[in-house]
Amino acid sequence: MTNLTLEKVPGFLQTMDERLRNIENSLNKKQTQDSDTSKKKYSLPGAAEYCQMAESTFRTYVYRRKVAGTKFGKAWLFLEIDLNKFISDHRRPTADELKSQAFEKLTSIKKGGSKWV
């Protein structure tokens, strides 16, 4: 920061105020975009299509309470954010990830750690 004289204070404050307003506007836009995505809703057939699975398979997951949803009378409603969580929870690890997990487990056993579970 340069030397701030009394004459420059009003201009400096105005500049800082503009910068803060720009930051606040950017954050508000980002928050609005995030909330719009999380509020997108799907019916049961639409949710099954979003998850790229047969409706009967998806219905089984719903009744086993593996995916979050809300039932209004006979209709189901699912939020996109819950469907994304369901998808990521059912992700299969890669072969490299499995090898790494096995190596870590074997290393901890050799060091006297927990037994293989």
For residues 43 and 14, state if they share a domain.
Answer: no
Share above pLDDT 90 across residues of the chain, in percent, rounded to a whole number: 42
Shared-domain flag, residues 72 and 61: yes
Neighbouring C-alpha atoms within 13 Å toward the C-beta of 46: 11
Considering the domain architecture, whether residues 43 and 99 belong to the same structural domain is answered as yes
Over the stretch 20-61, which tens digit does the pLDDT of each residue have? Answer: 888 888 888 776 665 555 589 999 999 999 999 999 999 999
Decide: 69 and 78 in contact? Cβ < 8 Å. Answer: yes
Residue owning tokens 């490299």 = 96
Banded model confidence at residue 114, pLDDT cuts 50, 70, 90: low
Domain containing residue 9: 1-38
Angle, nearest 10°, between helix axes 80-89 and 9-38?
A: 70
Report the predicted TM-score, pTM, of the whole model to 2 decimal places: 0.54
Do 115 and 69 lie in a common domain? yes
- Tell me: the pLDDT tens digits for 8-29? 778 888 888 888 888 888 888 7
Q: Which CATH number belongs to the domain containing residue 83 in this structure?
A: 1.10.1660
Q: Are residues 32 and 54 in the same domain?
A: no
- The number of domains in the chain is 2
φ and ψ of 51, to 5 deg: -85, 0
pLDDT value for 4: 72
Centroid of chain to Cα 61: 20
CA angle in degrees (0–180, nearest 5) for 68-69-70: 145
Q: Quick one: 28 and 47 in the same domain?
A: no
Contact in structure between 76 and 70 (CB atoms under 8 Å): yes
Give the C-alpha distances (Å, rounded to integers) separating 55 from 33, 49, 79, 91.
29, 7, 16, 19
